[in-house]
Amino acid sequence: MAEKIDTTSSMQDILTMALKLESQACAFYKKALEHARTPEEEQLFLKLHDCANEHGQALERMLGEIEAQLEIDRALSYEVY
Residue 81 is predicted with a pLDDT of 57
Q: What tens digit of pLDDT does each residue of 22-60 get?
A: 999 999 999 999 999 999 999 999 999 999 999 999 999
What pLDDT is attached to residue 3?
73
Residue 23: what residue type? S
Q: Residue 74 — very low, low, confident or very high, per pLDDT cuts 50/70/90?
A: confident
pLDDT higher than 80, residue 1: no
Q: Residue 79: what pLDDT?
A: 63
Is the pLDDT reported for residue 80 higher than 70? no
Domain ranges of the chain: 11-75
Burial 10-29 (b: 16+ CB within 10 A, else e): eeebebbbbbeebeebbeeb
